[in-house]
Structure 1
Amino acid sequence: MRILPSFTALAPFLILLGSCVGPAAQRPVAQPAPAPARPAPAAPAPVPQAQPSPVAKEWQYRPVAPGSWRYRAEAAGSSAAFGSGVADAQLTLRCDRASRRVSLARAGGMAGAGAGTGQGALIVRTSYGAASWPATVSAGAAGQLVAFRAASDTGLDQLAYSRGKIAVEAAGQPMLIVPAWAEISRVIEDCRG
């Protein structure tokens, strides 16, 4: 007697055997050849030099005037002067402790005064906005337009806490843009303390 397994009895084993075979080996796919390098584009024809763009009109984007602030304690209070040297202050903030007033003096203020009246205004610009401060031509310092504020005036806080810069304008004078340094706060606090 011959014992040969029948084909039907082996069929389930053959199916399992077929599932044990790994995936068929794949042939590498041929990659397209790289495109030949393109020649660099020709340099454009030289363009005539354009005129420089106009300076930004917003005062915040203009540079500050050359110079620095100098603080000085005085018998009657204190002062902070901005300029390139001790003798040529362009802007001076002064505290008068006795009257509890702070003065802001802009050099060259004669042009900002009304005709023969000795009156004018300083436009003070800070990061909080602009304010017009009534001013007079100083009798003691020729050519200075001076505005006075009470030491408690909130306009002084705007000077002290302005972000980065302060601008002061007087009629007939170019805008003076100065850095908002700690010397300003010191003079104001001297008058309040």
Structure 2
Amino acid sequence: MKINRAAQFAPAFSCALALMVGACNAPQVVPPPAPQPTSRPAPPPPPPPAQPAFKDWRDAPQTPGDWRYDNGTARFGSAGSTLFAMACNRAARTVSLIRTGTAQRALPMTVATTSETRPLSAEPAPQGAPQLVVTLPANDRLLDAMAFSRGRFTVEINGLPTLYLPAWPEVARVAEDCRR
């Protein structure tokens, strides 16, 4: 039997032809995937506004709020929020100055009135209450200076905003009630 040489190489030729045809076609270019939008980290919060410096603390605006008096305690602040309080302990004949804020240790407190400026040491309140406390004898002249300061007095504690508090009758009432 005579085999045609062309038929013998036909399968190999078909494969080679298929490869050449495939090679002649331009390769399909797949575009790169669209870049994913990168999430930017959130910008840091702006720093708290710095309290403006005043040449004289008496020029600073009063801290917003009102005094309320109840049973030997005067509280200053807005509805539901107390910033500062004065509390009488009649049995011990002392008045506590209480500033809302937290600290792990004693912090310097300064009370300034028109007639007196006094450095004090504010201790963290017992049982983890978010307050700093200074306790004075009921007859301490600083209490009178706070009550009779012309218009207002200040309470400063390192790390907390300065309070510019009005010298309203509630301040005098705490001291007077504690002296009886």
TM-score, reference length from structure 2: 0.68
CA distance in 1, matches of 2:170, 2:58: 20
CA distance in 1, matches of 2:108, 2:173: 24
Out of 93, 103, 120, the position equivalent to 1:100 is 93
CA distance in 2, matches of 1:141, 1:155: 27
What's 2:117 paired with? 130
1:140 Cα deviation (Å)?
Answer: 3.9
2:88 counterpart SS class: strand
Out of 161, 167, 173, the position equivalent to 1:180 is 167
Say yes or no: does 1:61 pair with 2:55: no
Code of the residue aligned with 2:150 in structure 1: it is R
Out of 74, 81, 98, the position equivalent to 1:80 is 74
Instruction: Confirm or deny: 8 A CA contact 1:106 1:144 kept in the other structure.
Output: yes
Say yes or no: does 1:156 pair with 2:149: no
1:127 counterpart SS class: coil
Code of the residue aligned with 1:108 in structure 2: it is G
CA distance in 1, matches of 2:75, 2:128: 14
Q: Tell me the alpha carbon deviations over residues 5-58 of structure 1, each in whole angstroms, 9 at most, x when there is no partner.
A: xxxxxxxxxxxxxxxxxxxxxxxxxxxxxxxxxxxxxxxxxxxxxxxxx76332
Instruction: Confirm or deny: 8 A CA contact 2:61 2:164 kept in the other structure.
Output: yes
Instruction: Confirm or deny: 8 A CA contact 1:124 1:132 kept in the other structure.
Output: yes
CA distance in 2, matches of 1:98, 1:108: 26
1:139 Cα deviation (Å)?
Answer: 1.8
What's 1:49 paired with? none
1:166 Cα deviation (Å)?
Answer: 0.9
Structure 2 gaps, min length 5: 1-51
Out of 166, 172, 177, the position equivalent to 2:153 is 166
Within 5 A, what are the aligned runs for 1:4-83?
A: 56-73=54-71, 78-83=72-77
Instruction: Confirm or deny: 8 A CA contact 1:121 1:147 kept in the other structure.
Output: no
Instruction: Confirm or deny: 8 A CA contact 1:123 1:133 kept in the other structure.
Output: yes
Instruction: Confirm or deny: 8 A CA contact 1:109 1:173 kept in the other structure.
Output: no
Q: % of aligned pairs identical?
A: 40
CA distance in 1, matches of 2:116, 2:60: 16
1:173 Cα deviation (Å)?
Answer: 1.0
Say yes or no: does 1:147 pair with 2:140: no
1:186 counterpart SS class: helix
Q: Tell me the alpha carbon deviations over residues 77-118 of structure 1, each in whole angstroms, 9 at most, x when there is no partner.
A: x10000011x310000000000000000111142xxxxx4x2
Structure with the larger helix share: 2
1:174 Cα deviation (Å)?
Answer: 1.5
